[in-house]
Amino acid sequence: MTTLQFPPDFLFGSATAAFQIEGGGDADGRGPSIWDAFCEVPGRISDDSNGMVACDHYHRMPQDVALMRELNLDAYRFSTSWARVCPDGRTLNPAGLDFYSRLVDELLAAGIKPWLTLYHWDLPQALGERGGWTNRDTSYLFAEYTRHMVDALGDRVQVWTTLNEPWCSSFLSYAGGDHAPGHTSPREAVAAAHHLLLAHGLGVQVLREAEQNLTVGITCNTTYSHPADPDNPGDVDAARRIDGGFNRIFLDPIFKGEYPADVIEDMAEAGLGSDVRDGDMELISAPIDVLGVNFYNGAAHAAPLPGAKPEIRITEGGHPAAAPMVGSETVRPVARDLPLTAMGWEVKADDLRLLLVRLQRDYTGPAGIPMVITENGAAYDDVPDASGYVDDSKDRLVYIRDHIAAVHQAMTEGADVRGYLVWSLLDNFEWSFGYSRRFGIVRVDYDTLERIPKASARWYAGVAGSHQLDID
């Protein structure tokens, strides 16, 4: 048995997102989001569900915070719903804002650090109807929304994240068609990506102007791409393309103030760079204090087959969907004979170590800022017993344990990582999969809405309480 010790100030916590857990879909003046509209289209969500009730966190928040305290969490990362706070995207709804004020107070009273994310994909539908993130104006309205939030909560919330996973809310949403609003336009995707980055920059500016010495950052979903054959130049280039279109397209503007030249070339047909105006890159690259790293899996990639062309596929629900990797649509993922989660994602914890070391070397190290793992977790086909308890000790627990160990190893190799937030606290609405995929360390019985901690939750409470990890 090997015991890995983490520093006393290392944060062990969990993460959720507003649309996935809150419910309260038409409570207290909340307006519809683009995800509400997406859910209304038959076939868009695999089980035809929606987020109107979800986990009913909106009405059960004190109970959920008490559960977090029971699990010894140091921090809780949550998102605020723009559609709840500003139903039309502009006008403040005090009742919606009050919910988050009460949540923050509840967390602080429980000794749990609030980690607030301003945008986790639930754009007000009123703005979606005006072009969503393809409309540059949305970036400036995000800044106004940020101002409302920091004015209300800046005295109690220290850590602020502008955006969660801008790759998903641009490429997966506007090019892939898998997420709201469900479009398949590469041109729209690159415009959305730039306007999201602009929103980040404008949001950072607002948060700095608050003069409350806040910790400000962004959370990016990241991967580690291996060439299927490191000796094959085509496969090496395929891995480069995936890294560019997934990681560097956001990290380079944030940390280096420019889009990577090779990614501009890869996405030339979609017009990457054509939406940049004077002053944009200076705003986008304003210094941040922490990089949130979301990681679920790495992958291996191979060169396209001769003559391969991008294809539009039709989903089971009858809707068009396409490859979200603009500029590398025909790059082939290659299976590595590894275990898979219920999402079909490969499990190899060492890819997280490799990623963190690379991020430290190329981005956060030169910037002099730390990283926090803001999401990491896995969906499995949970089988509850008669009481609703799930023994996930052989899959989810192992996944989390091995990835925490990979974080520790990366830290010994020089990566400055200050926390690990498991995804997710609760089973929840898993976007286009509805309630058919469970990521939570706590089971939610969707009939009764009872919370039942799984084996992984009880184990994680021990890790969080002791700040040490035992490895066989």
Q: Which helix (H) or strand (E) holds 54?
A: none
* Predicted pLDDT at 211: 82
Instruction: Please compute the mean of the pLDDT values over residues 78-100 and round it to a whole number.
Output: 98
Catalytic residue, candidates 22, 165, 188, 430: 165
Q: How confident is the model at residue 354 (pLDDT cuts 50, 70, 90)?
A: very high
Candidates 64, 49, 62, 63; CA nearest to 19 is 49
Is the pLDDT reported for residue 1 higher than 90? no
Is 406 exposed, middle or buried (CB count within 10 Å of its CB: 0-12, 13-18, 19+)? buried
Is the pLDDT reported for residue 316 higher than 80? no
Instruction: Please compute the mean of the pLDDT values over residues 450-471 and round it to a whole number.
Output: 98
Strand 159-164 vs strand 113-119: parallel, antiparallel, or unpaired? parallel
Instruction: Please compute the mean of the pLDDT values over residues 142-158 and round it to a whole number.
Output: 98
Instruction: Please compute the mean of the pLDDT values over residues 330-345 and round it to a whole number.
Output: 98
User: Is 450 marked active-site?
Assistant: no
Catalytic residue, candidates 22, 106, 188, 375: 375
Q: How confident is the model at residue 28 (pLDDT cuts 50, 70, 90)?
A: very high
Q: How confident is the model at residue 392 (pLDDT cuts 50, 70, 90)?
A: very high
Instruction: Please compute the mean of the pLDDT values over residues 177-187 and round it to a whole number.
Output: 97
Compute the distance between CA of residue 463 and CA of residue 469 in angstroms, rounded to an integer: 6
- Tokens, residue 340: 């898979």
Query: Token match 């060492």: residue?
Result: 350
- Decide which of 311 and 62 is more confident: 62
Instruction: Please compute the mean of the pLDDT values over residues 429-446 and round it to a whole number.
Output: 98
Compute the distance between CA of residue 89 and CA of residue 131 in angstroms, rounded to an integer: 13
Compute the distance between CA of residue 292 and CA of residue 32 in angstroms, rounded to an integer: 28
Q: Are 62 and 94 in contact (CB under 8 A)?
A: no
* Predicted pLDDT at 314: 85
* Predicted pLDDT at 456: 98
Cα dihedral sign, 23-29-35-39: positive
Is the pLDDT reported for residue 257 higher than 90? yes
Is the pLDDT reported for residue 6 higher than 80? yes
Q: How confident is the model at residue 305 (pLDDT cuts 50, 70, 90)?
A: very high
Query: Token match 């990582």: residue?
Result: 417
* Predicted pLDDT at 317: 81
Is the pLDDT reported for residue 430 higher than 80? yes
Count of helix runs (H) and strand runs (E) in the chain: 16, 17
CATH architecture of 10-454: Alpha-Beta Barrel (3.20)
Is the pLDDT reported for residue 472 higher than 90? no
Instruction: Please compute the mean of the pLDDT values over residues 60-87 and round it to a whole number.
Output: 98
To 10 degrees, the CA torsion angle through 107, 113, 114, 116? -170
User: Is 430 marked active-site?
Assistant: no
Q: What is the DSSP letter of 22?
A: -
Average pLDDT, the chain: 97
Q: What is the pLDDT of residues 152-179, one digit of tens each?
A: 999 999 999 999 999 999 999 999 999 9
Taking the alpha carbons at both ends of the chain, their separation in whole angstroms is 5
* Predicted pLDDT at 102: 98
Instruction: Please compute the mean of the pLDDT values over residues 404-430 and round it to a whole number.
Output: 98
* Predicted pLDDT at 12: 98
Compute the distance between CA of residue 347 and CA of residue 398 in angstroms, rounded to an integer: 10
Least confident stretch, 15-19, 320-324, 430-434, 467-471: 320-324
Q: How confident is the model at residue 424 (pLDDT cuts 50, 70, 90)?
A: very high
Candidates 367, 370, 361; CA nearest to 420 is 370
